[in-house]
Amino acid sequence: MRDAAPVNADPNECVVVDTNQMPWEPTEHAGVTRKVLELVRDPRKGRETSLLKFARGAKLPTETLADRLDLFVVEGTLADEHGTYGPHTFIRNPPGLRLTLGSKDGCVVYAKWRVPIRPGAGERLVIDAQTAQWMAFPHRGADVLHLYPNRDGIETSRIGNVHPNRQLPSHDHSIGEETLVLEGCLKDEYASYTTGMWFRMPCGVPHAPYTEAANCKMLIREGDLVW
């Protein structure tokens, strides 16, 4: 897929995608379908962001990763030769790792292949958001689980859970931000973002997000839009 035409590849564009309205597209692998959210073809900063759906018993061929591959299990159970991962588990796989992805009972996975911004993609990480220690940010009305800071300080990722009826200060993201809504609803001056929506804010675009009656749990990444 990463040799296909670009998808949402302009880093200066705001992008909002309702993945619930996208059809699952077949792949060349039996039992594995996908929804492509972003595809950037670039030898230094190329990336692909997709949802992958594994049917019961489906498996991808074994590969040695050329790029970094970050995975987040949205639902179901994912497995590889290194372990088994339940819902809301984050797995970072560095380049050079031998990997065979599959699912015994079926799953949906948020996957990002990324050419590392700097040499060295960091160690392999496995973080189960259901058992990990979250940090409370009462002044923001939120709880946060930090997944990683990149060693060069550019990329970060976290899961945030903003409580109901909270207004966050207006801010921009100097290194860009992309978000997958896992639960609930977040709003700002541009749109409403509900479960299953993916949106990307370019560098320097301000917004003032808030919640109403529902909380909002989100998978957030910053730094991929640094060019």
Contact assessment for residue 84 and residue 112, using Cβ atoms and an 8 Å cutoff: no
Shared domain for 72 and 140, answered yes or no, is no
pLDDT of residue 119: 63
Tokens of 12: 């200066």
* Three-state SS at 23: coil
> Would residue 29 count as lying in a domain?
yes
> Would residue 174 count as lying in a domain?
yes
pTM reported for the whole predicted model = 0.93
Measured from the Cβ of residue 39, the count of other Cβ atoms closer than 10 Å reads 20
Shared domain for 85 and 190, answered yes or no, is no
pLDDT tens-digit series, residues 21-37: 999 999 999 999 999 99
Last residue of a domain, one of 128, 160, 184: 128
- Beta 177-187 vs 98-99: how paired, if at all? unpaired
Quote the CA–CA distance of 160 and 67 in Å, as a whole number.
Answer: 26
Task: State how many domains the chain has.
Answer: 2
Shared domain for 21 and 72, answered yes or no, is yes
Tokens of 196: 């299953």
pLDDT tens-digit series, residues 72-98: 999 999 999 999 999 999 999 999 999
Shared domain for 102 and 22, answered yes or no, is yes
In this structure, of 56-60, 145-149, 169-173, the range with the lowest mean pLDDT score is: 169-173
> Would residue 41 count as lying in a domain?
yes
Range of the domain at 211: 135-222
> Would residue 227 count as lying in a domain?
no
Measured from the Cβ of residue 5, the count of other Cβ atoms closer than 10 Å reads 7
Percentage of the chain lying above the pLDDT 90 cut: 69
Q: Quick one: pLDDT band at residue 61, thresholds 50, 70, 90?
A: very high
Last residue of a domain, one of 128, 152, 174: 128
> Would residue 8 count as lying in a domain?
no
pLDDT at 216 over 80: yes
Q: Phi, psi (5° rounding) for residue 209?
A: -75, 155
Shared domain for 122 and 140, answered yes or no, is no
> Would residue 3 count as lying in a domain?
no
pLDDT of residue 135: 95
Quote the CA–CA distance of 47 and 13 in Å, as a whole number.
Answer: 16
Contact assessment for residue 187 and residue 210, using Cβ atoms and an 8 Å cutoff: yes
Shared domain for 74 and 94, answered yes or no, is yes
Quote the CA–CA distance of 95 and 89 in Å, as a whole number.
Answer: 20
Average pLDDT for 53-62: 98
Return mean pLDDT, the chain. Answer: 91
Single-letter amino acid, residue 129: A
Quote the CA–CA distance of 211 and 161 in Å, as a whole number.
Answer: 10
